[in-house]
Amino acid sequence: MKFTVLGSGAGLPSKDRNTQSFVIDCVLEYNEYILIDAGEALQHRILHTHIKPSKIKNIFITHLHGDHIFGLPGFLSSRAFQGGEGIPLKIYGPKGLREWIETTFRISESALNYPLDVVEVEPYMDIRLNNFDVHAIPLSHGIESYAYIFKEDNQIGELQTDKLRELGIRPGPVYGEIKASETFTHDGQIYETPDFIGETIEGRKITVHGDTRLNTEKEYLDSIRNSDLLVHEATFLNNEREKAHDYFHSEINHVLDVFEDVNYKQLLIVHISSRYTDEDIKEVSASLEGRAVIAYDYFELPIPRNVK
């Protein structure tokens, strides 16, 4: 599983940073991509990757500002001609998203050749998505905005084949049968399968924020605690904490301070203002000392399993 950044910039795109779009690549695990936000020119960004639009089956929109949704109509239309025919697509997002999509397609007289379902999200809504539980947390942005917490299901531990060999059970299809059972019999003796299974593999936790002011409430911090990947905006990079707050955004040093005790494994900083030069960003990156990474377009970050 990996996290791909198709657009890392804030509201005004630059030559180097497109507006915000992300992909959780879980094709190897679950044969799909999960798209989060749809910045302008999304369909063009995808052309520079190996992402197949037909394998995007779920989209999560954090909020309805244009830099997060203006790429959606073009992508939906292109998907219809890029292997998506007949493959259902579901879109989750704030109230008003369904009306905006329906109006756009009605006025442009566009049609899709696959089922489209738009689900309007409510605060603290829980969503079951294949092998993930998704939790929507409301944010502070002056417009309805959400963070989405994707918690992967736990997996049964590895079969301890060395113990089976000690019993004289040789490798073969029987190993799969044993792992799927509660008990098994060998040489007339009954064994408990859990005694031959390693520790449970904890599912990965990925938290992706929309635009927002920093939230310092304990309940919120507890909900994102222990994220394998924490994605948060920092539109401001130069200690303009008050200005960031006034504009319903966040500043990078404040983000680091607030998340200091959240126990994340990886922190990815996104939604970077176009006013910052490459030199500005290099300087800030050098000061992070491994606490976070500032994203750039087409950045890919592996999200390994929690194997002990």
Instruction: Count the alpha carbons within 13 Å of 19 in the hemisphere toward its beta carbon.
Output: 20
Q: How far apart are CA 299 and CA 292, in angstroms?
A: 14
Give the tokens for residue 231. Answer: 């994605």
Tokens read off for 111: 């049609």
271 annotated as a binding-site residue: yes
Name the average pLDDT for the chain: 94
188: left (phi over 0), alpha (psi -120 to 50) or beta: left
For residues 86 and 80, the answer to whether their CB atoms sit within 8 Å is: no
In this prediction, residue 307 carries a pLDDT of 57
Per-residue confidence band for 149, with pLDDT thresholds at 50, 70 and 90: very high
The percentage of residues in the chain with a pLDDT greater than 90, rounded to a whole number, is 89
* Domain range summary for the chain, segments of one domain joined by +: 2-155+203-302, 161-196
List residues bridging with 63 in a β-sheet: 145
The one-letter code for the residue type at 251 is: E
63 is in an annotated binding site: yes
**Residue 19 clears pLDDT 80, i.e. is over it:** yes
CATH number, span 2-155+203-302: 3.60.15.10
**φ/ψ bin of 208: left (φ > 0), alpha (ψ from -120 to 50), beta (otherwise):** beta
Amino acid, res. 177: E
What strands lie across the sheet with 89-93, from one edge to the other? Answer: 116-120, 89-93, 56-60, 32-36, 21-26, 2-7, 300-302
pLDDT bucket at 53, cuts 50 / 70 / 90: very high
| Amino acid, res. 284 | V
Average pLDDT, integer, range 274-286: 91
Write out the two tokens for 150: 């994707």
- The whole-number pLDDT of residue 56 equals 97
Task: Please say if the pLDDT value at position 69 is more than 80.
Answer: yes
What's the rounded Cα separation, in Å, for the pair 141 and 265? 26
- 67 marked ligand binding residue: yes
pLDDT of residue 11: 86
Whether 67 is catalytic:
yes
Whole-number percent of the chain with pLDDT over 70: 99
* 68 assigned ligand-binding residue: yes
Catalytic residue among 25, 37, 67, 228: 67
The answer to whether the beta carbons of residues 174 and 128 sit under 8 Å apart is no
pTM above 0.85, yes or no: yes
The answer to whether the beta carbons of residues 198 and 164 sit under 8 Å apart is: no
Per-residue model confidence (pLDDT) at position 83: 85
